[in-house]
Every structure is written in structure tokens, then in C-alpha cells.
Structure 1
């Protein structure tokens, strides 16, 4: 089914599958409170940890290392794993292709081929039976939503069922270089963890600098990026504005835009999955689209699928 085409709901479909089509319904007060707690508490705890540790367990060097590693690996996921390898939003020369594969692998979100296969399956069955991580999996009641949010956020990662890679990512399986990078995921994980303490130790010339850089630049950075990425699966399929027509409950969550490098403009993405830009409306920050634009100007990327005004207007809700 093409993006933007309304699905037909049959009476016998499972409850969580039917619920995915009711994009116009509003959450009740209890649901909104539960969502606010689910979303806000972890981020508030992380923010509270920074001033507590300042001057003792964190400094400007740690923040700089963590920020650089965060946005390099975040764009490795958003530009590389997602917009390029999964959806083919642009073509990349060989050097950029390899660089994006490695940068995405440094995010420690799983081997490239597996990640792409899972995400392509998600788009095929978005918020319906077969979706690996829909928050509406168990229904629409408050207990079902809380259980579904947990499942969509990280519970699905522990599911024994594996997406068949040959079926959903045959192009990557057939590429020897990409297959090799995917199989070396353990190496990229080790490098991602070791680069920050190495940088911190060399900059400060101290073991203390290496230790704090390891904590903030490795552990906290990886954890934050994971939860931001998982929030696209959970939060952005539970709440958010829906200015565009899609066949699921994907929404735009503005306050995740910077940390997600533009991925939280999720409604347009599901309305037009191959678009290289997700934040297409005025004021929507999308740093991943900016990186793609730079690569295009440098001659590293070509045939970029930039959104056209007519195509955007055709997908507007209502």
C-alpha cells in the first residue's frame, strides 16, 4: 500500500491492528499523565545528574567529547542506517557509503543489516499485526498503552523472533563490504566505547580525564542516543501532530527534533518514507537533511530525493 492511502478496517481484525487506524482520537487525562511520566522522568533524571556532577565528575572536555560522539553516531543512524540504507533517499559514492555504515555502527544499535531489515518490516506493517515495535500492540486501554510503550521502546529488542534479513534486506546481504561491516559490529562497539576515554586521557593527560570521558562520552552518550532512537518507535507513534496523511499513528514530536537529528518529524516520514528531509514545514529543524545537503554539494551524494511542494501538499491531512 502506498504512503498516504487509507487502509480498510475489517471487523475481524485484532484490537491493536484496528486501533492503529484511529489517528484522530484523543487520549484521556489518565493516558496523558501516564505518557508524561513515561516520557519525562528519565530525561529529568539525566538533566539532574549534570549539575550534580559538575566540577567533580564532569567538565567541558567531557561534554565536548560526548557531544561530538553523540552527533557523529546519531547522524550515522539517521543519515546512514535510516535514510540511506533503509529508504534509499539518496545515492552515495563508495567512500561515503562505507563511512555511513561505520558511523551508524558506532551508535551501538545493532548490526547494520539487522537494523535495516527490522525497520523495513516496521514500515511494511506500521502499527499493525507484524510491526516489530508498535506501541498499540496490546490495545488502547491505559494498561495496554503502558505495556505497548514499554514494548515499542525497548521490550521488542528482547523478542526471540528475528526479522529474516534475506527477505527484507537482500540488497545489503548481497554487498560483501556492507555484510563485512555488519558482521564486525563487535569491533565498532569496542571502538565506540574506547574512543572517548582515549580522547579524554590524551587531552587532560590524566587517568581521571579518561575515566570521566568514559562515563559521559561512552556510557551516558550511548544510553541517551539509544533512548532517543527508541522514543521514535514509542513516543512518536503514541503522540504528536499529524499534519500529513499516513496509514499509521506516526506523529511529529518537536521537542525531540534536535536530539534525534530531525527524526522526530515522524509523521511526514511515514507519509513519504523516501524523502531525504523529514522536517519539511517552516521552523522544523532537521540536521540530518543538512548533512545530506553538504554531502550533495561536495559531490559525495547524488540523486537526493528532496521533497517537492506539490508532493508535500498532496499528503496534507484534510
Structure 2
């Protein structure tokens, strides 16, 4: 590894934390593999579907609106209570502690699809075998690397924020909450232990796995496949099949062309649920200085691409 790339890295993840990363990846995935036969037999009720959809939507928006558009890119300003709420709910998506997440993503934009990018699928070449290896690395492999991004370089503002340091340290307890709360609600609403177990399975484990793979697909699929209507300095692309499940994050080409934009889906028919939530925050007076894209800027980026 060259010296310049070494400077991008901070300390290594401690062994217990690294073991926990493997657990957070593998255990929910095993639950996903068991989901089909479990549902086919006797293990899926409407309550499980409602809880899973609700927790998926809320925690996904915590990551897309909070971790991504707000904390990483500063697409808007927010009241302190909303900042904390977004950090907490984003942490409940189980995508890693907030300081790690923000540092990784800022580094991704600084070196997108070049050496230094933590999760580009193009780092190993363009042969079929290299692309398979690159897809694995971009989708999941990079998460299993013990080397952490240098937070002092990429997230000094977050390190200086006492609230964010506290939320960062609470990642473990918040992971327990995001898995246990669906079970508690399922048990209380159904008034049965079985309702608690199935809610834990569907709205806890399966929901976390589904959210993981949708998010990771933005790193992998959306840098390999899709349309590129806007001028960006990398291979970011729009992949419409993921638009709703990713809450608008798969309109990835515009995001890389204009990273601080609060809206990623800017063309007709491009649904962007995250942008709509930011719009609601703005209307309520909880957010301001929102960086909405202008028609002139969108047209310029399209012209540059053409």
C-alpha cells in the first residue's frame, strides 16, 4: 500500500468489534435464507409485515436522510433535536457507528472509483473475473476489512460534536434496541410470545439484512449498471429498480455529479422519498438552508454529460 493511501486510514478495528461486524453481517443473512420456508410454513403474519415495513422505512430514512444527505454532505441544516434523532435512527439501521459511516462515505467521494475509494467495484480491473471480485468488494468485502478510515482527516466536524460522539459510542445498545423493539411491540400487540418471536425474526433480523443489501447495492450495482445522464468524474449510475427501496439513493449519478444536493431524483418520474422527507422537515421549520437543485444546474450537468 502506497504512503498516500496509508494516510487515509486510521486505527484498526479492535478484534471484538471486528467479530461483531461479522456477526451483524452473517446472522441476519442466515435469517434471510430461512425466511422463505419459515413464511411458507407458519411464521408470517400481517403484524410482522407491518412492523417490518415500518422499521425498514424509518431506519432506512435515518441512514439516507441523516447519515448520508445531512451528516456526510450537509444538504441542509437542522435543529439540534432533529440532528440527534437522525443520528440515533440512522444508527438503528445497523450500518456501523456514525463516525465510521461518515468518514467512509466522504472518503468514497474524495476518491470515487480510484485508488483510495473504500468500496469501488473497479479497483481490480475490467476483466470478467476482476469485475466479479470488484462487485464482491464493493458490495460486502470492504466492510470486513479491519482498517478504519481516518476520522481526523475526513470527519473532524463530527469528532468535534459531543452529541455525535455519544451516539457513536451508543451504537452497540442501539443495535440491541433496533432488534428488540420489534419483538416487544409484536409481543404486546399480539399478546403472545410467538408474536414476539416472529416480529423479532421479520422486523428485526430479516429487515436488517434487506436494508443492508439494498444499501450495499448502491455501492456495487450503482457503480456498474444503469444510466448516466449527468456529468460525474466516476462511474456512478442511476438504477431505477432500487429507487423506492433505497428511498431515492439509487439515483446515484446525479448524487455524484452534485453531492450536496438534497434531491437525487431530479428528472421526471424519479421518485425520491428521502427528498420528500427533507421537504417536510423544511415546511415544519425543523430544517433550513436546504440545497435544492435548480433547473439551471441540472440542465448544465446534463449538457456537460452530453
Q: TM-score range by the shorter chain?
A: 0.7 to 0.9
The answer as to whether partners of 1:81 and 1:100 remain within 8 angstroms in 2 is yes
Q: Specify the alignment match of 1:108 in structure 2.
A: 94
Structure 2 vs 1, CA of residues 280 and 48 (structure 1 numbering), >3 Å: closer, same or farther? farther
Runs of 4+ with deviation above 4 angstroms: 45-52
* 2-structure distance, mates of 1:163, 1:195: 31
**TM-score normalised by length of structure 2:** 0.87
The offset of 1:56, in angstroms, is 1.0
Q: Specify the alignment match of 1:270 in structure 2.
A: 256
The offset of 1:52, in angstroms, is 6.6
Structure 2 vs 1, CA of residues 215 and 49 (structure 1 numbering), >3 Å: closer, same or farther? closer
* 1-structure distance, mates of 2:72, 2:171: 18
The answer as to whether partners of 2:100 and 2:149 remain within 8 angstroms in 1 is yes
Candidates 143, 148, 169, aligned match of 2:155: 169
Higher share of residues assigned helix? 2
2:274 aligned with 1:288: yes
* 1-structure distance, mates of 2:257, 2:58: 27
The answer as to whether partners of 1:135 and 1:151 remain within 8 angstroms in 2 is yes
Candidates 118, 132, 149, aligned match of 1:146: 132
Q: Specify the alignment match of 1:12 in structure 2.
A: none
Q: Specify the alignment match of 1:64 in structure 2.
A: 50
Q: Specify the alignment match of 2:10 in structure 1.
A: none
The offset of 1:129, in angstroms, is 0.6
Number of paired residues?
Answer: 275
* 1-structure distance, mates of 2:34, 2:94: 25
The offset of 1:287, in angstroms, is 0.2
The offset of 1:161, in angstroms, is 2.0
Q: Specify the alignment match of 2:114 in structure 1.
A: 128
Q: Specify the alignment match of 1:26 in structure 2.
A: none
Q: How does 1:237-316 map to 2 (within 5 A)?
A: 237-316=223-302
1:273-311 residue CA offsets vs partner (Å, 9 max, x unmatched):
000000000000100000000000000000000000000
User: Partner of 2:149: helix, strand, or coil?
Assistant: coil
1:4-26 residue CA offsets vs partner (Å, 9 max, x unmatched):
xxxxxxxxxxxxxxxxxxxxxxx
Q: Specify the alignment match of 1:10 in structure 2.
A: none
Q: Specify the alignment match of 2:23 in structure 1.
A: none
The offset of 1:55, in angstroms, is 6.7
2:223 aligned with 1:227: no
* 2-structure distance, mates of 1:46, 1:90: 35
* 2-structure distance, mates of 1:104, 1:308: 28
The offset of 1:204, in angstroms, is 0.4
2:143 aligned with 1:157: yes
* 2-structure distance, mates of 1:185, 1:287: 25
* 1-structure distance, mates of 2:33, 2:248: 21
Gaps of 5+ in 1: 1-44
1:241-269 residue CA offsets vs partner (Å, 9 max, x unmatched):
00001000000000000100000000000
